[in-house]
Chain A
Amino acid sequence: MKAFTGTWQLIKLALRRDRIKLPAWIIINSSLVAVSIPAIKDAFPTLEDQITYAATVANSVVSRMFEGAVDGPSIGSIISTELFVFMAVLMAFMSTLAVVRHTRQNEETGSGELISSTAVGRYASLTAALAVAIGANIVTGLLIFIALAQSPDLSTQGALGFGVALASVGIAFAGIAALAAQVAESSRGANSLAGTTIGIAYIFRAIGDGFGSVDNTSLGVESMWVSWLSPIGWGQQVFPFTRENWWIFWIFAGFILAITGVVFMVLKRRDVGLGLVPSRKGPARGAKWLLNPFGISWRLQRGVLYGWTIGFVVYGALIGGVAKEFEELIAENEMMQEFIGSANATAEFSDLLFSGFYIYVGAIAVGYVAQALLKMRSEEVKGHLENVASTAVGRMRWMVSHIVWIVLGAALIMFTAGVATGTVHALVSDAGWNEPLRIGLIGLAQLPPILAIAGAIALVYGLRSSWSTIFAWGSFVGVLVITQLGALLRFPQWVMNISPFGHMSNYPVEPLARTPIVVMLIFALVTIVLGLVAFRNRDIETT
């Protein structure tokens, strides 16, 4: 057991370092569930309301993809559908960020080397990281259980199942992150790898639910097998208030044991500080395109952009595929036809669908601008900026060289997502080959609010580098929560108004409204310019 010596000290060290971060995650995650319970009860007070809800979700591919499969009319079922997937993603991120922080990031900064030289075992660091992540998940799961158990509408057993299922998803991703931390050589690489896995798990679950079959009550959904490839899918399939599929916890147990076993085996074989893939030699000369500020920023930004582009193309293609099913469903359903017809006589079903989808896609794209803009902060903290700023590159030029790529990048991912949707839609329906361009433009129409948020982040970064991380990710989570849960939780209008997405017209169902676009673009431009000026006038953060 010598390999585990020092684990307890390292756990204490990790808790000390995370004294703000982890409690914040735990409180936010558990209180999101706590505040949603009364909101859901308010929204669906009678059985009739609950039946309408179940019928709507079961028959809407969009709802199934974004929220999840539904299982009958009850408060418990609605809570599962509305909250589980969203919460599972948050729990997964809480875990992966914590595990990478206490493993690969330590090795990268060199503190891992110093720690390894003291009387701690080879496995201590990883074990401590996993213990902290598992602990955080258990505490969050417990708080969520307590919050749910207070409600008279929900069984204690179901409440416990819900909490345990969420914690299980979180712990499963802690294991995945531990593996990512062994494979990748940088903490950034490990985080993107783990984040990508969360994305894939989400998409598998979305495909499984979206293409699942409605059961004979037409109030429930049987997900397709693809759901079972995703840890988020497993957690969701527990349905703690209805089907009570407790046996799924055995899958979790097996998965977590297996992945930790693999991780420890890898750890035993590899050198501290290195990854599994050895570093190769590179060019002896700088390529011509690289040798200017825009070249470096492209080199630094392209990885993030490639990742998001691939993700958005897959996501966009998925939307295109689902649209066809949705149209068929509506064609069969007279009630829905009437509903949509009365809302807006001229709108085509698919337009309504796409405009709804692309608000979500736009909100998710805020994650891209946040991540890409924060690259500037990491360049500063790592001392790379100091080297560039001491050459003949002006500071404003340096910042502009990043922002230009990010603005183009945001346009690119929104447009390609749309083109992917349009291409698939054109392939599976008789929409015609105008479709890729048409939906590409629907994607681009979401650009002004994305840029408005990007401008605000740039301004905060210009004012003070250390504020930008929390502001950027806070904006992303804020926009996601408002878009995903705002209507359900009945946020007051002023809260809804914070998100710029709510101010856009519902293109293409409605024509593009010029005012909000102009206002947002001016806002973006002004905040970026102010950010540049502020950045020019502050100290560069040095180590």
Chain B
Amino acid sequence: MSNTSIIEVKKLVKKFGQFAALDGLDLSVKPGEVHGFLGPNGSGKSTTIRVLLGILRKTSGQATVLGQDPWNDAVELHRRLAYVPGEVGLWPNLTGGELIDLLCTLRGGTIDTKRRDQLTERFQLDVRKKFGTYSKGNRQKVALVAALASDVELYIMDEPTSGLDPLMESVFQETIMELKGRGKTILLSSHILAEVEKLCDRVTIIREGRTVESGTLAELRHLHRTTIKAEIENSPAGLKKLKGIHELKVDGKNIEFEVDSKDLDGALEQLAKLNVRALMSHPPTLEELFLRHYDEAPARDKKAVD
């Protein structure tokens, strides 16, 4: 894996009038990885993607995609990437088949008819229907097939599976794994955490236009707390004084608490003295990880792991 990033964004700012939609955002996507791009609604994911596509012009900061400037080198750049928007707006009177051919050709490539037909088959898309008559999920499929049928280096997807049924969702995951196997890079913005957990090598979480976390899932977990539940005979008083213990709840003999990963040793030592009858522990789920950021007050703990 080379060190040059496919997407390199530093201190990116995009203002609409006075409002800063992006306020010093960082993002780094390495070659060959599937990178999860997460954040609550309105946190600036789509704005970031549109800056990366040269649809919006950055106010300040740095943004490079495939080593090129997304604003000045838009056309050259777009030959090398494919984009799936979150809400697919296309001409209602053209058929799905026409639109797929159109988008593939406009990206500058010739149409790989075999791959296209394979994909429409796998996604079960009736290409003869007009776009205006498709359901939301089927509209999404048009953009997906058009992107996946294009042989490019980078795929940028903005909530590509919204509206897909579970069966199609799993087809989508298969195709992404295939792309990854072929060494392609994918930036995937999504709210479906199971999907992110399954597909992504690394994730970046943003909030109010800033990056709050970035790293592999293991790294992110490491930064966070493990939950421990136990049934004990002795009094848990000793635990309270310990460093790194949070949210201790005592209910008779049952206790539950969270502990910072680095203080796990001390906590287990102390626990051993309490006459443990039963013990259960689990690392932070992705959901817990996200929820903490999603409803926390504005990014005060700005950590980043590289």
Number of interface residues of A (CB under 8 A): 37
Decide: A388 and B106 in contact? CB cutoff 8 A.
yes
Q: Is A498 an interface residue (CB 8 A)?
A: no
Interface members, chain A 268-285 (any B CB < 8 Å): 279-285
Q: Is A17 an interface residue (CB 8 A)?
A: no
From A157-165, A237-245, A379-387, give the one contacting chain B. A379-387
Decide: B79 and A300 in contact? CB cutoff 8 A.
no
Contact of B55 among A280, A286, A390 (CB under 8 A): A390
Decide: B105 and A291 in contact? CB cutoff 8 A.
yes
Decide: B85 and A281 in contact? CB cutoff 8 A.
no
Interface members, chain B 54-77 (any A CB < 8 Å): 54-57, 74-76
Q: Is A119 an interface residue (CB 8 A)?
A: no
Decide: A384 and B89 in contact? CB cutoff 8 A.
yes
A287-B99 Cα distance, complex, nearest whole Å? 10
Decide: A391 and B89 in contact? CB cutoff 8 A.
no
Q: Knowing A279-B130, A284-B127, A292-B105, say if A390 contacts B83 (CB, 8 Å).
A: yes
Minimum distance in angstroms from B243 CB to a CB of chain A: 48
Decide: B97 and A286 in contact? CB cutoff 8 A.
yes
Decide: B102 and A296 in contact? CB cutoff 8 A.
yes
Decide: B128 and A542 in contact? CB cutoff 8 A.
no
| Binary contact readout A184-208 vs B (1 if CB under 8 angstroms, 0 otherwise) | 0110000000000000000000000
Q: Is A392 an interface residue (CB 8 A)?
A: yes
Contact of B97 among A284, A386, A392 (CB under 8 A): A284
Q: Knowing A300-B91, A539-B55, say if A286 contacts B108 (CB, 8 Å).
A: no
Decide: B101 and A392 in contact? CB cutoff 8 A.
no
Decide: A392 and B128 in contact? CB cutoff 8 A.
no
Per DSSP, chain A at the interface is loop
Minimum distance in angstroms from A378 CB to a CB of chain B: 11
A537-B71 Cα distance, complex, nearest whole Å? 9
- Nearest to B117 among chain A residues (CB) is A284
Q: Is B107 an interface residue (CB 8 A)?
A: yes
**Residues of chain B lying within 8 A (CB to CB) of residue A282:** 94-95, 97-98, 128-130
Minimum distance in angstroms from B119 CB to a CB of chain A: 14
Decide: A386 and B133 in contact? CB cutoff 8 A.
no
Q: Is B50 an interface residue (CB 8 A)?
A: yes
**Residues of chain B lying within 8 A (CB to CB) of residue A284:** 95, 97, 127-128
A126-B49 Cα distance, complex, nearest whole Å? 40
- Nearest to B127 among chain A residues (CB) is A284
A461-B76 Cα distance, complex, nearest whole Å? 25
Decide: B78 and A391 in contact? CB cutoff 8 A.
yes
A388-B57 Cα distance, complex, nearest whole Å? 17
| Binary contact readout A52-95 vs B (1 if CB under 8 angstroms, 0 otherwise) | 00000000000000000000000000000000000000000000
A279-B94 Cα distance, complex, nearest whole Å? 11
**Residues of chain A lying within 8 A (CB to CB) of residue B89:** 382-384, 386-387, 543
- Residue in B92, B98, B107, B108 with the greatest tally of chain A CB atoms within 10 Å: B98
Q: Is A258 an interface residue (CB 8 A)?
A: no
**Residues of chain B lying within 8 A (CB to CB) of residue A542:** 46, 50, 55-56
- Nearest to B78 among chain A residues (CB) is A392
**Residues of chain B lying within 8 A (CB to CB) of residue A286:** 97-102, 105
A296-B94 Cα distance, complex, nearest whole Å? 10
A542-B95 Cα distance, complex, nearest whole Å? 23
Q: Is A540 an interface residue (CB 8 A)?
A: yes
- Nearest to A384 among chain B residues (CB) is B89
Decide: A383 and B85 in contact? CB cutoff 8 A.
yes
A384-B55 Cα distance, complex, nearest whole Å? 12
Minimum distance in angstroms from B207 CB to a CB of chain A: 21
Q: Is B187 an interface residue (CB 8 A)?
A: no
Contact of B87 among A280, A383, A537 (CB under 8 A): A383
A292-B103 Cα distance, complex, nearest whole Å? 9
A395-B79 Cα distance, complex, nearest whole Å? 14
Interface members, chain B 8-62 (any A CB < 8 Å): 46, 50, 53-57
Q: Knowing A290-B102, A394-B75, A542-B56, say if A283 contacts B128 (CB, 8 Å).
A: yes
- Residue in A186, A282, A539 with the greatest tally of chain B CB atoms within 10 Å: A282
Decide: B105 and A186 in contact? CB cutoff 8 A.
no
Minimum distance in angstroms from B13 CB to a CB of chain A: 14
Decide: B55 and A389 in contact? CB cutoff 8 A.
yes
A296-B55 Cα distance, complex, nearest whole Å? 19
Q: Is B268 an interface residue (CB 8 A)?
A: no
A296-B130 Cα distance, complex, nearest whole Å? 16
Q: Knowing A282-B95, A283-B97, say if A390 contacts B127 (CB, 8 Å).
A: no
Interface members, chain A 508-543 (any B CB < 8 Å): 537-540, 542-543
**Residues of chain A lying within 8 A (CB to CB) of residue B103:** 387, 391
**Residues of chain B lying within 8 A (CB to CB) of residue A251:** none
Decide: A537 and B57 in contact? CB cutoff 8 A.
yes
Q: Is A393 an interface residue (CB 8 A)?
A: yes
Decide: A283 and B75 in contact? CB cutoff 8 A.
no
Decide: A392 and B107 in contact? CB cutoff 8 A.
yes
**Residues of chain B lying within 8 A (CB to CB) of residue A537:** 57
A282-B95 Cα distance, complex, nearest whole Å? 6
A392-B79 Cα distance, complex, nearest whole Å? 5
A185-B133 Cα distance, complex, nearest whole Å? 11
A2-B102 Cα distance, complex, nearest whole Å? 47
A539-B75 Cα distance, complex, nearest whole Å? 16
Interface members, chain A 296-354 (any B CB < 8 Å): 296, 299-300
Minimum distance in angstroms from A376 CB to a CB of chain B: 14
Minimum distance in angstroms from A242 CB to a CB of chain B: 50
**Residues of chain A lying within 8 A (CB to CB) of residue B94:** 282, 299
Interface members, chain A 431-450 (any B CB < 8 Å): none
A290-B106 Cα distance, complex, nearest whole Å? 10
A393-B128 Cα distance, complex, nearest whole Å? 25
Minimum distance in angstroms from A459 CB to a CB of chain B: 19
What are some 7 contacts across the A-B interface (CB < 8 A)? A279-B132, A291-B105, A291-B106, A387-B89, A387-B90, A538-B57, A540-B55
Which 9 residue pairs spanning A and B have beta carbons closest together? A383-B89, A286-B101, A391-B106, A284-B97, A392-B108, A282-B95, A291-B105, A390-B83, A286-B98
Known: A287-B98, A387-B83, A542-B55. 14 other contacts (CB 8 A): A281-B95, A282-B94, A282-B128, A284-B95, A286-B102, A290-B102, A382-B89, A389-B74, A391-B78, A392-B79, A393-B75, A537-B57, A538-B57, A542-B46
Interface positions of B (Cβ within 8 A of A): 46, 50, 53-57, 74-76, 78-79, 83, 85, 87-92, 94-95, 97-103, 105-108, 127-130, 132-133, 143
